[in-house]
Amino acid sequence: MLDSTPSTTSTASAASAEPAARPRRPVAAAFRTLAALTGVTGIVLDVIASHDLGRLFSYFTIQSNILLAVVFACSAHRAWTGRPALSPRITGAALLYICITGLVFHFVLSNDSSGFAMTSHRTPLETAASQLLHTATPLAAVLDWLVLTAPGAFPLRYGWQWLAYPFLYLPFALIRGALLAPGTDGRYPYPFLDVDLHGYAGIATNTVVFGLAFYVLALVLVLLDRIRPHLRVSRNRTSAKVSDRLDGGRTTNRS
């Protein structure tokens, strides 16, 4: 006769096969929620102050902050519920793009000696939005990366893969400008992409210079991620050392 009572061994094996529950990370969730709200607030203030939403949403600043807000919101939800962290391919891309936003603004667009300055008069509302989108969110992203994410997550190949969006932004900006009438205010979103000022040959040169700078920045993030210390924050640090499913099918997350 077959014994209908499951054995202790089989029960234990089934229990051990179940994935262990991940701890919630409330501090990480709270910080990322606040960071996402910071980006959203800056965008809302810019929308209120803007008289041309098409022009506003053509800016890399707005697009990168939208992406960062979405990534932070998703990461906050995962941290709060104890789910695995987002792929470092995604979080690293958002980090790079918001760093580009902050660095280009402070060292190029706000620098009269750069040759590409955009130092026009701003209302108090526009100034507040600019500080949130160009300073607060980049600092929040870097702080989250350094303190709340484990190191060693970025393979070297991510450096050039992340550049897909910045390079796709180039034809977007040029095609949009070509479709607008000459003399239209904000026809090209940034001075270094202004065909009327530099011609297409000048834009090609600027693209190479900025593209190389962005690639160097991406490599710096990858290398720093490998050598930075592992600052352990109990129950709040997300795992970041994963092998992305797209790269081989096996994903390993640490909490």
Chain segment 16-36, per-residue pLDDT in tens: 444 455 789 999 999 999 999
Residue with tokens 């529950």: 21
3 state SS of 118: coil
CA-CA distances (angstroms) from residue 218 to 12, 102, 190, 213, 249?
47, 14, 21, 9, 25
pLDDT at res. 146:
95
Own/partner pairs for 245-251, CB < 8 Å, 24+ apart?
245/87, 246/89, 247/155, 251/84
Q: What is the mean pLDDT of the chain?
A: 86
Contact 174, 196 (CB under 8 A): no
Contact 235, 22 (CB under 8 A): no
Contact 162, 88 (CB under 8 A): no
Does pLDDT of 10 surpass 60? no
